[in-house]
Chain A
Amino acid sequence: MTEPVIMVSNLTKFYGDFKALDKVSFQVDKGRVYGYLGPNGAGKTTTIRTLLGLLKPSQGEVQIAGIAPTKNPVQALQTVGYAPELPTLQDFFTGAQLLDFMGKMFGLDSQARKESIKQLLDLVGLKEWGNKKIGKYSKGMVQRLSVASALINDPLVLIMDEPTIGMDPEATAHFRNLFANLSKEGKTVFISSHLLDEVQRICTHIGMINKGRMIFDGAITQVLEAFTQQWVIEAELEKATKTVISALRKLDYVEDVKVEGNKLRIELKEKKDLRGEISSEIFKRKGVLLSLNLRKITLEDAYLSALKGGQ
């Protein structure tokens, strides 16, 4: 049985008269990597800050491991690691000093802090920079250190706001693997990001929010299915003859065929992989097929479709 580690129920948040969140509900089960998506101003950061007890819900409730952070922050946040978007870290500290300070806030003893600092600096690729002032770090390095500081208490829940922003592609790939490994260790990872490709690679489940309202919550496979309007087969022929095009258009399961040179975009009426039938029809009409692909919907397609439809 799955065990919800993050629980958000009917969460509503007003800033004065402005409703930033409107009855948002979702839950994240243990060991999942959950992507939280939405355009700027959708309410992602408000949700995260409420989860951390920094904001009080106007209505509804949030819980981390069954504890409300606004009511009992010490207990609720003991098992949480948080890395904010483009953090401003205390630049008078060195990287190691900052991790030590954060470790003290979690009540870690001196020996535990010493060991964790060494491991974490190594893990985020800042081994050589541990004794240098944070003021000398690049944006990407600050971001890495922020992720390291979120891991200092060996958290059960890791909440990250745009964690790979400012990182180079190599570091991004490194952190993608890190998050996947943390999930394998049973940690729950909650990532707010606008990098849809990254979310699709890392996350198993996602939540989509727009204008303060939850428009989707579930597995990535479900969202792709839910927002796939039409299946499309892309074919490239040696020569796209009128005979082939006209024959394809007459097929019962084909909605339309769009032609661009020798490339065909065959839009299907059904959500089925009909590449076999299409290729047979092309061969029957003496067409020479160079390539045939079923164009799968990406998370980006689904996301844009969801925002457009306001579903």
Chain B
Amino acid sequence: MAKKKFFVLVLLVLVLQVGLFVLFYYFFTNPPPGFMIIGPALEELKGSMWLVGVLGPQSLFIPIIAIIIAGGSMSEEYERGTADILLSKPVTKIEYMTGKFVGGLSLLGFVIALTTTLGVALAYGFFGPQESIQIAPAIYLVLLYANLLFFSMTFMFSEVLRRTTLSMLASIGILVASTFIGGILSTMYLISGEQLYVEISKWLPNWSASNLPSFVASELITALESPFISLPGGDIQLAAAIIAVYTIASILIATLKLVKSDVTKKTD
């Protein structure tokens, strides 16, 4: 992995997170003319700002970080020729791939932990005591699970294409295309009222990956004795199942490719 680029991107995400809070703080303290949040509504919003901090980066940045981590995990070993050295040791290809997958996922888990912690800390710092913070660990785990989709898909491209840049571009292409197609389908639903468009859009990879954390957050908040905010919910089981399908399919394709084909020679 291009270590410098990765660290710069993580740093950028953290800076954007801080920027987001500064903006919200400014908005709350200096609301634009004609826009007033007062009384309980303002307090409700302030007490739930940690959710913004935790779920905010998931919309785009965390999937991109997942793509960057997974994009080089297999292909860089081929490009640098280190796959030859590692696979000429007494390890099976499955052990090797498992190690690469778990290693990459651990790094992603660390980055998500960092953004989650920072989100919570910033919310406390800018807006004071936060509500029902006890659900944060569960949200963290759901974020990790949701990001499995793009992580596994890129991991699969990394093994199948064996080129880091290509595999990242393929995944980013899918992320952008599915967002774009999802938008078109929503518009078509609004125009026609045909539910089928909505159902199709749910099977696009970004729907489940980007929505599952907020669906789960909504469910957990609703289950609390005194829910502090109301979030739009959704079909958690379907979103979780779609992530599982994409993840398992990607891992299977990557495994088949690795086991069935020769180890590619150094290309750098």
Contact = CB atoms under 8 A, between A and B. Distances in A.
A80 interface: yes
Interface stretch (B88-96, B166-174, B202-210, B240-248): B88-96
A77 interface: yes
A82 B263 CA distance: 15
Interface stretch (B39-47, B78-86, B191-199): B78-86
B82 A88 contact: yes
Given A88-B268, A90-B82, A52 B88 contact: yes
Interface in A44-89: 45, 49, 52-56, 73-78, 80, 82, 84, 87-89
B87 interface: yes
A253 interface: no
Contacts of A76: 90
A1 interface: no
Given A53-B88, A88-B268, 12 more contacts: A45-B265, A49-B263, A52-B87, A53-B87, A54-B87, A73-B91, A82-B88, A88-B81, A89-B82, A89-B85, A107-B90, A149-B85
B69 to A, nearest CB: 16
Contact of A74 (B82, B86, B91): B91
B92 A73 contact: yes
A74 B266 contact: no
A55 B83 CA distance: 12
Contacts of A49: 84, 262-263, 265
Nearest to B95: A74
| Candidate in B84, B85, B87, B262 with the most chain A CB atoms within 10 angstroms | B85
Interface in B76-116: 80-82, 84-93
Nearest to B262: A55
9 contacts: A52-B84, A52-B88, A54-B262, A73-B87, A74-B90, A74-B92, A82-B85, A88-B268, A106-B90
B85 A87 contact: yes
A84 B262 contact: no
Interface of A: 45, 49, 52-56, 73-78, 80, 82, 84, 87-90, 102, 105-107, 149
A78 B90 CA distance: 5
Q: Chain B's interface: helix, strand, loop or mixed, by majority?
A: loop
A291 B92 CA distance: 62
A77 B90 contact: yes
Size bracket of the B interface: 10 to 19
B263 A105 contact: no
Contacts of B87: 52-54, 73
Nearest to B263: A54
Contacts of B89: 77, 102, 105-106
Interface in B46-95: 80-82, 84-93
Contact of A87 (B81, B91, B92, B93): B81
| Candidate in A53, A74, A76, A88 with the most chain B CB atoms within 10 angstroms | A88
Contact of A105 (B80, B82, B90): B90
A102 B262 CA distance: 22
A87 B80 CA distance: 9
A14 B183 CA distance: 48
A73 B263 CA distance: 13
Interface in B238-268: 262-263, 265-266, 268
A135 to B, nearest CB: 12
A56 B93 CA distance: 13
B81 A84 contact: yes
A56 B88 CA distance: 13
Given A55-B262, A88-B266, A80 B88 contact: yes
B81 A54 contact: no
Given A84-B85, A87-B85, A88-B268, A55 B263 contact: yes
A105 to B, nearest CB: 4
Contacts of B82: 88-90
Interface string B1-26: 00000000000000000000000000
A184 to B, nearest CB: 25
A77 B95 CA distance: 15
B91 A105 contact: yes
B262 A56 contact: yes
Nearest to B261: A56
Contact of A77 (B88, B262, B266): B88
A272 to B, nearest CB: 48
Contacts of B80: 88
Nearest to B3: A92
B64 to A, nearest CB: 23
A138 B199 CA distance: 59
A119 B88 CA distance: 23
B253 to A, nearest CB: 19
Contacts of B265: 45, 49
Interface in B124-159: none
Nearest first, the 8 A-B pairs at minimum CB distance are: A54-B263, A105-B89, A52-B88, A74-B90, A77-B90, A82-B88, A55-B262, A78-B90
